[in-house]
Amino acid sequence: EARFYDEISDDLLKGASAELTSANATFDSVTVPGILELPTAALFGLSRGPALGHAYDGFVALGCAVKGETDHYEYVCAESMAGVQRIALDLKTPSGNGILTCPTWELAQDRADPARGDAGGRAVRACLRLIELKRGFGL
């Protein structure tokens, strides 16, 4: 989870944790400063997890970028999204992308709130479905 916007991250994590708990899934939460660091953290965890006794079936990326006055937003959003997808494809690991890229703070709040948009819960559901699908294919 990226903590650049604490309030948004709290809601994303709340929704994701509730969904994981309801699915009886075990999970670790790793915190990074911003969404650009999410792919690297996922790669570290997936690469070193088994050596540390933590083999992960998948990963969920949670974080948010809100459009500002510069074009920095476009680069950060594109690179973080592409990075998450690249890690999932390269490592053949199910993922859930809960990175919000919103033009306004209000939209980010709405999408992160577990009672409204529940982006964290949706990202977990996507990851769990991909884990199920992978197992169904015998992989």
Does the active-site annotation cover 72? yes
CB of 81 closer than 8 Å to CB of 99: yes
Catalytic residue among 48, 54, 72, 86: 72
**Environment class of 11 (CB within 10 Å of its CB; exposed 0-12, middle 13-18, buried 19+):** buried
Q: Is 65 helix (H, G, I), strand (E, B) or coil?
A: strand
Residue count (the chain): 139
Q: Using DSSP bridges, classify how beta strands 95-102 and 59-66 pair: parallel, antiparallel or unpaired.
A: parallel
| Contact between 112 and 120 (Cβ < 8 Å) | yes
Which residues are the active-site residues?
A: 72
